[in-house]
Amino acid sequence: MTIESPGKFWKDYELIDSGNFEKLERFGQYIMARPEPKALWDKTMSDQEWERMIHTRFKTGAGFGKAGKEDSGTWERLRKMNDQWVISYSGTEEGLDFRLRLGLTSFKHVGVFPEQSSNWEYIYRCTKALSDKAAAEGRPKPKVLNLFAYTGAASLAAKAAGADVTHLDSVRQVVTWARENMELSRLDNIRWVVEDALKFARREAKRGNLYQGVILDPPAYGHGPDGEKWKLDECLYDILKCVAAILAPQDSFMVLNLYSNGYSAVLGETVVKQAFGINEPPGSGIPDKAAGHGNTEIDCGELVLEDSFGKKLPLSIFVRMSR
């Protein structure tokens, strides 16, 4: 199992401090405080030091609803700032370069999950290798499907690497936001789909359509465009089985990211192996990390943010598979 966090090279993002169920972050030129249930420790900096730095702070309404979903809240402006602004991401790989428009939403989010930068790097590397191989062999560009794609950073990483990208989210406004990010990044020709992810994946499986890359970052709860209810515990295995049917059997990759507090990297790895029919005999001695299964490799771990005082804040788990 590996632990990954954003590289220090990313100049437009910084986790400054964390603690007392909050995190102090800088996105571009603006600094904000947001609730963080996993920051169980004390802040390193004083409350007065936080207050001197903050442009805005998110304050929750009633806390958490009965279903475990975050309730909406409001932003308290402490200093002058724009409602929307743009940050850049330039990765470790040449050509991995895009821009993201950020904004203050009613659910404490701003349009990007910075811990995901490690996944962007992986997606770019895998897609670039597949694109280069396809070009050398005179084949079409690799097809990459991004499910639950939000504002599209992962879609931009795949597109920058030369893929034919399908970006799917059930919220039309979020897809519009992602399109804006594509245009800001001077990229084009991403296919936009407003649809329930499970329905779309099932339909693609029935059609026999294959993708060389599939990215999944599902929420714990959600709704499709026609009111379909999404509950991760009930749907994750089904959608992974659909992904197993549409992911090309070779020269392909998959990235699964999970935010649910009750999930572990081991659970994620196990559900992926079962959905794809990858079974290890008891006592085989095959290590979990990057274990080879024929031509298949699987890695799992945690994505964390590390503040400037060295405190590591775990935020999600990932499972990556390539073959």
pLDDT of residue 71: 61
Q: What is the pLDDT along the chain (323 residues), one digit of tens a residue?
A: 899 999 999 999 999 999 999 999 999 999 999 999 999 999 999 999 999 999 999 998 754 444 445 568 999 999 999 999 999 999 999 999 999 999 999 889 999 999 999 999 999 999 999 999 999 999 999 999 999 999 999 999 999 999 999 999 999 999 999 999 999 999 999 999 999 999 999 999 999 999 999 999 998 877 777 777 778 889 999 999 999 999 999 999 999 999 876 799 999 999 999 999 997 655 544 444 444 456 899 999 999 999 999 999 999 999 999 99
DSSP string, 51-98: HHH-SEEEEESSSB-TTSPBPPEEEEESS---SEEEEEEE-SSTT-EE
How many other CB atoms sit within 10 Å of the CB of residue 263?
A: 17
Name residues whose C-beta falls within 8 Å of residue 42's C-beta, 6 or more positions apart in sequence: 19, 20
Q: Which domain range does residue 306 map to?
A: 2-322
pLDDT of residue 281: 57
Name residues whose C-beta falls within 8 Å of residue 176's C-beta, 6 or more positions apart in sequence: none
- What is the C-alpha separation between 72 and 63, in angstroms, rounded? 8
Give the residue among 284, 288, 168 at the shortest CA–CA distance from 225: 168
How many other CB atoms sit within 10 Å of the CB of residue 15?
A: 23
Give the residue among 118, 128, 117 at the shortest CA–CA distance from 160: 128
Give the residue among 188, 242, 186, 184 at the shortest CA–CA distance from 211: 242
Amino acid at 187: L
Check: CB of residue 49 under 8 Å from CB of residue 124.
no
* Total domain count, the chain: 1
Q: The domain that contains 31 carries what CATH number? A: 3.40.50.150
Amino acid at 106: S
